[in-house]
A and B are shown apart, each in its own frame.
Chain A
């Protein structure tokens, strides 16, 4: 099976702009999670979608939003970009929603966002 894919791979924006990132999960996977990775903070959970519904949300401001389509593809949007939003944005897919029994998450290659 093809792995998780993300587009675009690199993005340069200026402060105040907005950006949309896309993630296509592994075929058959229904859960998509988004993470922000920075050198100082490591991997921070943004949100998780399952069956087009946001099931879980991390501690990020409302400028960060997302959605999931009926084919499980997901997008995340960041509005009013700030310099601190520069990071690698990773999505991960798994068969089911994250649960205490838990499925393995498979990561995409990430989108490197630079905000100038």
Chain B
């Protein structure tokens, strides 16, 4: 089955810095890669996703890149703000069962 590794598990940055979270996957058939943000005590919410026919996607301060050859994808957050503090999950889906990374706790210090 699919295996998704996510790094780092914790990321601490200063407000205004950039943050990068990386995920690798094992199943070359995976072709959909969503990213979710989960604030403390709240539900996971989709923040951005990318499909395998695209190498990069941006939405304001958030971008995701995908390298299918190397089987890794990354989340980039620029100009971080304290409200970006949350746990971020990546996922890979190609069969019918999505596999999630274990999450990255992002802490943005004011």
Contact = CB atoms under 8 A, between A and B. Distances in A.
Given A42-B103, A104-B49, A56 B43 contact: no
Looking at chain A, what size class is its interface with the partner chain?
Answer: 20 to 34
Contacts of B73: none
Contact of B95 (A90, A100, A104, A107): A100
Nearest to B44: A107
Given A45-B98, A104-B49, A98 B93 contact: yes
Given A105-B46, A107-B45, A108-B43, A42 B100 contact: yes
Interface in A14-53: 41-45, 48
Contacts of A55: 96
Contacts of B51: 102
Contacts of B97: 45, 48, 56, 58, 98
Contacts of A66: none
A21 to B, nearest CB: 15
Interface in B7-51: 29, 31-32, 34, 36, 42-46, 49, 51
A78 B104 CA distance: 29
B99 A45 contact: yes
A109 B45 CA distance: 10
A70 interface: no
Of A4, A44, A97, A100, chain B has the most CB atoms within 10 Å of the CB of A100
A44 B102 CA distance: 10
Nearest to A55: B96
Interface in B40-67: 42-46, 49, 51
A39 B105 CA distance: 12
Contacts of A110: 43
Given A48-B96, A104-B34, 15 more contacts: A41-B102, A42-B89, A42-B100, A42-B103, A43-B100, A44-B100, A48-B97, A98-B98, A102-B31, A102-B32, A102-B51, A104-B46, A105-B98, A107-B44, A107-B45
23 contacts: A42-B89, A42-B102, A42-B103, A43-B89, A43-B91, A43-B100, A43-B103, A44-B100, A45-B97, A45-B99, A45-B100, A56-B96, A98-B96, A98-B97, A98-B98, A99-B96, A100-B29, A101-B32, A104-B34, A107-B43, A107-B44, A109-B42, A110-B43
